Structure 1
Amino acid sequence: MSGNAAYDVVVIGGGPCGATAAWDLARAGCSVLLLDRGGRIKPCGGAVPPRLLEEFDVPQTLLVARARAARMVAPSRRAVDMPVGDIGYVGMVDREVFDEWLRVRAEAAGAERRTGTYDSIVRDAAGTAIVRYRAERGGDLREVRARLVVGADGARSAVARAHVPGGERNPCVFAYHEVIRAPATTAQGFDGARCDVLYQGRVSPDFYGWVFPHGETASVGVGSAQKGFSLRGAVQMMREDLGLTRCETIRCEGAPIPLKPLKRWDNGRDVLLAGDAAGVVAPASGEGIYYAMAGGRIAAQTAQAFLASGNPAVLRQARRDFLRAHGRVFWILGMMQYFWYSSDKRRERFVAMCADRDVQQLTWQAYMNKRLVRRQPMAHLRIFLKDCAHLLGLSRPAPQGDLERAVP
């Protein structure tokens, strides 16, 4: 064993959630250690809304592309284009660059940064948490003391499994993507200015596939919770369909993505979960970067309240605060996933519904603002009625002009 340094907070995991929590805590004057494994990049489409850049002071220079439309592709290969319009854009980031920038910023604010693999948490005779980690594979265990440990170590978090009741019961989708060197367009339909989302059982029996532009590169990926389903095979199929098989493959990554927030985020003593470790990835869309950073900020605020009061009961506030801000959106997206992803027949209707102008407008407004739009009650009513009609199979097929074209 080596080391006995003491910190107010040890943050385990240096993704967008952990790095944001460490940044906020350091700026607030807390002594904080950010512990992160080296060489880890999460498979991710890399989409971020403009609100993220504004809310978390992220420079535009980190965007590698700005998508102005999304294309939803049905099982029949019919495609609906959803232009963003004049309300914004979908920013795209490269997680390898983006995550490192966030970690460097936290360090510049005063957080101490170490590279290492978390091992366990034990306690001394006084009950103080001691975080054990290894600086390198097979290396000696090192120890640091902490008044609070923030577990931001991703889905199937080791911190959650060992220290938070129910932390081992976190259902996940497994995601896999290939980052490729991409052309601006291909004859088969790839467009470097558009995000493609494929709702097809052949691509994923219970989730979706994506092709997201990253400027000179692109992320081609898929998610599924079905055991035995070939994620690599699905990605290869998408690359063949879009004429991307000859493009250079830069890197391949896979990881679990949680499906819903855990019922508990703390151990009632000195451990708090955040980000993927707490299960805060949006259902249906799988969007996680914004929610991870929002969760990291809430974890930092909760940590400060805990350090000031010494009362472990305040740790429960993190989950309440997050769900107060985003719980309704998560519930609606969860219902969407349950209903619309269950069969190709329903996926076909879902994509047809995306051609509706009301649906497109409110979808983009909710994405940009990260909340439900309340200013257009009649539009919400119209969408509710259309949604019911599509679900029951009572709606008429969308006009050919709205279902733009069949993907080759």
Structure 2
Amino acid sequence: RMVAPSGKTVDMPVGEGFVGMVDREHFDPWLRARAAEAGADLRAAAFERITRPDDGPPLVHFTTGAGTGLARHAVRARLVVGADGACSPVGRAEVPGHARMRQVFAYHEILRVPEAGAPGAGSVEATRCDVYYQGRHSPDFYSWIFPHGDTLSIGTGSARKGFSLRSSIRAMRVATGLDGAETVRREGAPLPLKPLKRWDNGRDVLLAGDAAGVVAPASGEGIYYAMLGGRLSAEAAAAFLETGDARALGRARRRFMKLHGRVFWILGMMQWVWYRSDGLRERFVSICRDKDVQQLTWDSYMNKELVRAKPAAHARIFFKDLAHLFRWVSP
């Protein structure tokens, strides 16, 4: 369900498909366990830096433990893969341009779903995601209520410095009647919204996942693209280790952009055009009443690619977008 600045809502039924959600609290340990089962030497550690004594292979410095039990270590590596998030210390230290990565800062609170009849219960539907396009809650992104079974996520995001995400969520909880619901935890994280121009340093470091910037603009979806990017980086790493040719590291980004570069560009343009003001957001939500828009949205979302089989529908949507953008029709 999409909610416009005026409060008008548009339901977008998923139809035959479904929207899957991943709980990172369980997913991340599962991934680490799989890596260990495949032969990885798993260590709970904090990255410090990379050095190259005598201009040789990278020496990775890291710490384990804490307080009086803190210990420093260093290991040689033929290749370092930085899969350490949007603020990747590996990327910032080793890959040109990483510090300038464009990001949205997201914040959400996990709440217990109110029991039927309790205040706020009417704002939650077990099988419905609510997406709020309202400037008072996010001036340049969107806000949400996503169900997670017995809990829900209520959150928002913005790239605008000085905008208080926590205050926005407090106001949103009041507006939806969820201010009295039990808070389980609070979390915040940066979301990159554009793949980096380089994922490697041309020598011995390669990035993957959020560290490479593979989160979709407009939607903020990241898990699918992170997993795909991780696989492509792994394949590029294997080619590098087999041949010793550092140019193999560039294959990861080239293959990713061939698969999804156009989608990311279109989503970025959509965010730039429609998320700039409440007037445009109102028209954007209104467009989504259109059955052609809904059909192509879900076809593209489920298949993670642009649907090219319906040129007539694309043409109709293009002219409807122009009509709303230039205010030739009322929202």
TM-score norm. by structure 1 comes to 0.78
Task: For 1:171-190, list aligned pairs within 5 A.
Answer: 171-183=102-114, 186=120, 188-190=122-124
Q: 2:12 aligns with which of 56, 68, 82?
A: 82
Partners of 2:115 and 2:26 in 1: how far apart? 21
By relative contact order (CA 8 Å, sep 6+), the higher-ranking structure is 1
Per-residue deviation, residues 363-386 of structure 1 (Å, max 9, x unmatched): 011111000111111111111111
Aligned to 1:37: none
Aligned to 1:168: 99
Aligned to 1:335: 269
Structure with greater helix percent: 2
Task: For 1:5-404, list aligned pairs within 5 A.
Answer: 71-86=1-16, 88-125=17-54, 127-138=56-67, 139-183=70-114, 186=120, 188-397=122-331
Per-residue deviation, residues 191-235 of structure 1 (Å, max 9, x unmatched): 121001110000001111111000001111110111111101111
Partners of 1:247 and 1:118 in 2: how far apart? 38
User: AA paired with 1:166?
Assistant: G
Per-residue deviation, residues 83-132 of structure 1 (Å, max 9, x unmatched): 1012x111122210122112212211222211111101112336111111
Tell me the CA shift for residue 257 of structure 1. Answer: 0.8
Structure with greater strand percent: 1
Gaps of 5+ in 2: none
User: AA paired with 2:42?
Assistant: R
Tell me the SS of whatever aligns to 2:306. coil
Partners of 1:237 and 1:104 in 2: how far apart? 40
User: AA paired with 2:61?
Assistant: R
RMSD after superposition? 1.3
Partners of 1:233 and 1:127 in 2: how far apart? 50
Tell me the SS of whatever aligns to 1:320. helix
Partners of 1:149 and 1:187 in 2: how far apart? 48
8 Å contact kept, 1:346–1:391: yes
Tell me the SS of whatever aligns to 1:91. coil
8 Å contact kept, 1:179–1:220: yes
Tell me the CA shift for residue 190 of structure 1. Answer: 2.0
TM-score norm. by structure 2 comes to 0.95
Distance 1:187 1:253, change over 3 A: closer
Tell me the CA shift for residue 295 of structure 1. Answer: 0.4
Tell me the CA shift for residue 187 of structure 1. Answer: 5.3
Q: Which moved more, 1:192-201 or 1:128-137?
A: 128-137
Per-residue deviation, residues 272-327 of structure 1 (Å, max 9, x unmatched): 11111111100000000100001000000000000011000111111111100110
Per-residue deviation, residues 319-367 of structure 1 (Å, max 9, x unmatched): 1111001101000000000000000000000000011101111101111
Tell me the SS of whatever aligns to 2:161. coil
